[in-house]
Amino acid sequence: LAITAPLQQAAPRVSAAARADAADIVVAEARGEGPDGAPPACAELLRIHAQTWSLALDQDGAEPRERVAERKRSLTLGAPTANGVPVRGTLLPEVAAQLQTIFDAHLAPTVAFDDPFAVDEDGELPA
């Protein structure tokens, strides 16, 4: 697992042959038969070696989740009906928070204050 897990993460972007070659080198290091002739490596060191190979083979790495989310964002207004206009879509979290703030401000009940200087129909201040 220390060897295969880091290399499998690059699987969609790196060929199976390149990953197999890298795994063979790291397995040789596990047996103490690696290119540097070092003694057998522990599991943690093997994991680091496999991660290094994974980075070397896939230098761009996985696409950041933000870019994927940006490509999937959408907002669609449906056809108006007697009941209103349907809305559906997917927003980025920060955009959704801003939109929620706008909705809250517009949908909040209006506050009415008593006017201390209001006059009645006769032009008199109420008692």
Task: DSSP letter for 125, please.
Answer: P
Rounded to two decimals, the pTM is 0.44
The encoded tokens of residue 41 equal: 């490596």
Q: Is the dihedral of CA 106, 109, 110, 111 positive or negative?
A: negative
pLDDT digits (tens, 9 = 90+) for 57-92: 887 776 666 777 788 889 899 999 999 999 999 988
Domain range list for the chain: 4-57, 65-107
Place of tokens 């047996």: 31
Q: Give the closest residue to 45 by CA, choosing from 96, 3, 10.
A: 3
pLDDT, residue 66, reads 72
